[in-house]
Structure 1
Amino acid sequence: MKPQFNFFQHWYPLTPIEDLEINQPTAVTVLGLRLVIWKPKSAETFQVFLDQCPHRLAPLSEGRIDEKTGNLMCSYHGWQFDSRGVCTQIPQADNPELVSKNQDNLCAIAFPVQQQQELLWVWLDPASPEQAAQTPLPLSPQIDASKGFVWSSFVRDLEYDWQTLVENVTDPSHVPFAHHGVQGDRNKAAPMPIKIVQSTPERIEATASGRFPATITFEPPCRLEYAIQFGDSGKQVGLVTYCIPVSPGKSRIVAQFPRNFAQALHRFTPRWWEHIQTRNQVLDGDMILLQQQEYFLHQKTRTESWKTAYKLPTSADRLVIEFRNWFDQYCQGHLPWSEVGLEAQPRWNDHREQVLDRYQQHTQHCSSCRKALLTIDRLQIALLIYFALTVAIVALLPDALRLKLGLPGIAIAVLGLGIYGGLKFWLRPKFYFVDYIHAQK
């Protein structure tokens, strides 16, 4: 039986706009489709094409934005494409009319795009632009400055499947344990009853009771949102996640963290600091568990259902059960990998440095973390140069001045060397790899 849910005819956020490069193309994969993001010099919005030049299928993400035309140029043979994907130049053309007469056959495949709530959105079916125009984006009501909300954004590629990501985010009861000392406290864990308020093909809504009541909304295929109230104070904090299927065993999370209080603190907290201290740690704690859990579930469901493979006796598991039932009923329990020529295979990676590779999964995609890392590297070089120059200058000072001027200079240089050590051995690794050992938390 054909699944009722069409994953391709939906809007997906690819990344926060602030993280995109405006002067060069960026590659991204969604639902097994390799895409290229680029910004024409004459356009206000980014464009998204299939990452294949129609000439010889070379990746357009390895191309460049031509300085003269502002169009996307393929680096293999120099073919150029405008913002609609129309081929505008073929350097090898013997006949000047070759391009104009064959435009329909020489186009790059362009996808419908929108820019809303500081995110770049793509519609994954290029053959249905009319339907895309009539389909509203799955926007969060909490990403609204007019209501007093401020927010930050975060993106990371994950070493487990979309269904595992959705299942994890629908399970708030894991937070005190999987994120102890980061966002939770296992000593304060308590029952967290969940009630399903609404369940349709287009929306699942639930409420979680406890110290801070929350409304949880899942709008398939990607928006999964928490709205958490702090009593009767009117203060609200949210977790807005977009769960993006990338390929079998891989997903991407695009997250926004809104709140309607402490606006000044938001302005003064560096985005990159929040990423290395909190956001990446939370996902590290999940990643080391979930990529193995996914493998075990895949093995078990060869001979039995998830309903018997899992033991789900409490109401805290209610939303996980509802999501799994939705996935079975409307998607036949699988993603449409076969439609893009992919085959789902179980994976279990024992190399923790790869599973928790912050640089490949996050830093290289995040403009704030990239800039912070570049600043740290430059500062390390400056501190080493300062230390070397200070030592050399003090060595050349006359004896009469060495104690008076040299001693303070050496003291400052040694302090700088200590700062260099902190940058190199404590701060810089946080952009690359930090092992997460739950037994030590």
Structure 2
Amino acid sequence: DASPSDDTLSTTSEAAAESGANGDASPSDDGNVNQSDSEDPVEGSNTNLEEYSYDDLEMVKIGFAYPDVSAFAILNKKFSIGDPEEQATAVLDGWRREGLLPLNGRDIELVFRNFPILNTSQKLGVCTSFSQDDEVFAVVSGRDFTAGAECLATRYAIPVIDLNAAPPSTYVRGAPWFFTLRSNESEVMWNLVQWAQNRGEFEDSKIGLFWDTRSEEAADAFKEALAEFGHEVVVDIPSDGEGVGSPQDQISVERFAAEGVNIAVLLVGTSSVTNFMAFSERQDYHPKYLAFEWAGQIGDVASASLPQEQFDGAIAMALSRVGEIAAGNPLSVQADACLDNYVRFSGNDIERTSPETAEFVQILYTCDLMSVLYAGLVRAGEELTKEKFVSGLEGLEGFPLASWGDLTFGSGDHSGVQQFRTIEWSTDCLCWTAVSQMSDFVVR
């Protein structure tokens, strides 16, 4: 097999980082791309770009969708995710410098579109624009774009690699075009219950479930998994808040407290989680929170915005690598290479400290989406089609990422990361700390 290894595909080489440290420029004013030497180029790529005229290259048009969080960043600059367009362009520049592009006589043209996180209609508009206006080959998309990603797959048969988890039915409707970096929601819920059971979290417990009505499949999976271990939900409250809060936020607290619930599971948006905790604090009600990565709540910036009297000492199941810096663990090769390449390209200094900033995390997300995209293109071979691209993605196994555990796709299984670890929250540092190594999901 002459294809590069997963390690090669998932990271930018040290040569790119070294050239940045030596002051080499980004693409020069005359349109030529500077690149570092590479001793082991990807088969089909070209390490001497002077042999190519970009007019002669076939350009593969890739859509890049990312969330517009400017409204949140105005309220709190810690929510700023930086410039995703620059972050993605930096990855392309790094590939060109290494000789990873052009690939099989093709280069990549990125088409950028952003969307408000809470506006589904605009996400669908981005989907339509990518298809009808931009005519993209495939799309990679950041957090909270599930509705737009599903639209691309189901309406227009465009391959899409989305960041967020999705309900199992979304993968069925979007097959074979719909992929996510994270595992599907029901699989996450089953492993959450397994993880909590193994930790003894359910001993002498009364469990309350507060869930968004858009998350019915995840809620059902959670209750089914509990039943397999002989547990049940004693208070079950659906919410119609759709991520922006609802009257059920306070009602759920009152019901939980009245029924003596001592473990709260919140499958709702961050606004409702914040409201729930604030109402709980007012009533001097302090349940244990069975926390995990849902709706972007697990992250140093997001978790620091929650009422800390309620959350201090919380234990969570994480699929991401959040907390590695606080634990004193070295960043992965993929994360270091990603950050080095971005610093080289942008000239911006990105601190690798805890608490982890939203921009730090977004840079890693971007690298992960782009590296999975590139791996699919490599495996598609010289005669690139959407079907061969999908088949290439389905061949990824144990693919290392910068911000998550290892990713594995397969035929009929397009939800990627199936690893987790335990992390702990502290108000002393306003940060998560990893307290275990990554472990594989338990196969149901």
Query: Which of the two has higher C-alpha Rg?
Result: 1
TM-score, length basis structure 1: 0.28
Q: Relative contact order (C-alpha < 8 Å, sep 6+): which is higher?
A: 2
TM-score, length basis structure 2: 0.28
